Structure 1
Amino acid sequence: MSSVLILVSVIILTSDRLVEGGMETDLGSMFLPRVVACFIMAFSLMIGISSLYKLIAQTAMADTEVINLSGLLGVACYIGLLLIYWFSMPYLGFIVSTAVVMFAVAWLLQGRNVAMISMLSIAMPLIVYYGSSSLLRVELPVWSIS
Structure 2
Amino acid sequence: MQYKGIEGNGFYGFIFPISYSLTKQGRHPRRSGRLENIIVIREVFGMLKKLNQITNITIGSFVGVFIGCGIYVFCDYKKHPDLYAMQSAPWYTSIFVYGIVMLIFVAVAVIAKLIVRKKMKEGINSTDAYHQ
The alignment's TM-score, normalised by the length of structure 2, stands at 0.31
Between Structure 1 and Structure 2, the one with more helix by share is: 2
Greater relative contact order: 1 or 2 (C-alpha under 8 angstroms, separation 6 or more)? 2
Q: Which has the larger radius of gyration?
A: 2
The alignment's TM-score, normalised by the length of structure 1, stands at 0.29
